[in-house]
Amino acid sequence: MRRHSFIAIWFLAPSALGFMVFYLIPFAMGLHYSLMDRSTGGSFVGLANYKELLASDSFLKAAKNTFLFTTVSVPTTIALSLLLALLLNQSVYLRNWLRTAYVLPLVVPVASVVLIWQVLFDWNGAVNSWLHELGLSRIDWMKSEWARGVISVVYAWKNIGYNIILFLAGLQSIPRDYYETAELEGAGAIHKFSRITLIYLTPTMFFVVLMGLISSFRIFRETYLIAGDYPHDGIYMLQHYMNNMFLSLDIQKLTSAAALMVVCLLALVSGMFALERRFTHFLD
C-alpha cells in the first residue's frame, strides 16, 4: 500500500510542482502586492487598495456586466444544452450529423473562428447585408447594446457542445426500467422528465452549472478578439479591467481585482458543492 502511495505521489509531483510555481506562488505574491502601496519598496496599507477599487466606476461597471452576463448566459446555455441532449438521445432525423456538429466548437481554435463572427457582425458584415436585403436598417452590433447578445451567442456556441456531451452521458446512465415502469403507471412526459430525468441528472447538472460559471468568467478571450481593448460598455468585463490595469502597470488595482474575483469564484464553487451535498443527502 505504501509503495502504491509513493508511486502515485511520484507521478503527481510534476503537476503539483507546476501548479505551485505557475499558479499558487504568483497568486500569493499578488495577494501581497494588493496590500502594499506599490510593488517594490512599498509599505503595508491594509485594505486601502480594495476600498479604492470598490469606489472605482470602471471596476463596478465591469463587475456588474460580468454578473449580468453570468446570470443570463449560463442558465440559457444550460437549458439549450439539455434540450438538445434530450433530442439527440432519441431517434431523431440526422442524429449522427448533429452529434458531429456539436463537437466541432470543441476542436476548432477560438482565435480562427472569431474571425467568422467578426465577418458576421461587422458593420459591413453578412448579418447587416441580410438586414439590408430585407429592407431593415443596419445595426452596429459591437458598438451598441446588441454587443452583449452577440457575446452571449458566442459563449453559447462555444460551450453547448461540451454540455451536451455531459448531459448525454448522464441521460444514457439512467436505467430504462424506470421509464417503462412510469409508463405502465400512466405517467406522462412531463412527469417522467421532472421525477426521473431531472432527479438522476442532478450530479451532472451541478457539474455543468459549475463549469458554466467558471467559463463565464473567462469570456474575455472571445470579447477581446471581437471587440478589442475597450469594447462597448455592455461587454466591459472584469478581465478587461484587469487587462487594462496590467497595461498601465497599476499592479495594486490589478491584484486587488484578481483577488476579489477569486474570492467570488471560491464562494460560488463552495456554495455549489454545499448545495450538491445537501441535495444528495436529501435524495438518500
Task: List the single range of 88-97, 102-111, 173-182 with lowest mean pLDDT.
Answer: 88-97
Average pLDDT, the chain: 83
First to last CA, the chain: 32
Residue 78 confidence class, pLDDT cut points 50, 70, 90: very high
- Amino acid type, 248: S
Tell me the C-alpha distance between 58 and 175, whole Å.
Answer: 51
Residue 250, C-beta contacts closer than 8 angstroms, at least 6 positions apart: none
So where are the chain's domains?
53-283
Output the CA torsion sign for 213, 114, 152, 86: negative
Q: Which residues pair with 36 in a beta bridge?
A: 44
Listed in order, strand segments (DSSP E) in the chain are: none
Task: Return the percentage of the chain with pLDDT > 70, whole number.
Answer: 93
Considering the entire predicted model, what is its pTM? 0.82
pLDDT computed for residue 96 by the predictor: 64
Q: What's domain 53-283's superfamily in CATH?
A: MetI-like (1.10.3720.10)
Which tops the pLDDT comparison, 114 or 141?
Answer: 141
Q: Does residue 77 surpass a pLDDT of 90?
A: yes
> What pLDDT, in 10s, does the model give residues 116-174?
777 788 777 888 888 888 888 888 888 888 888 888 888 888 888 889 888 988 888 88
**Residue range 224-260, pLDDT digits in tens:** 877 776 788 888 888 888 888 888 888 888 899 988 8
**Can you give the pLDDT at residue 92?**
58
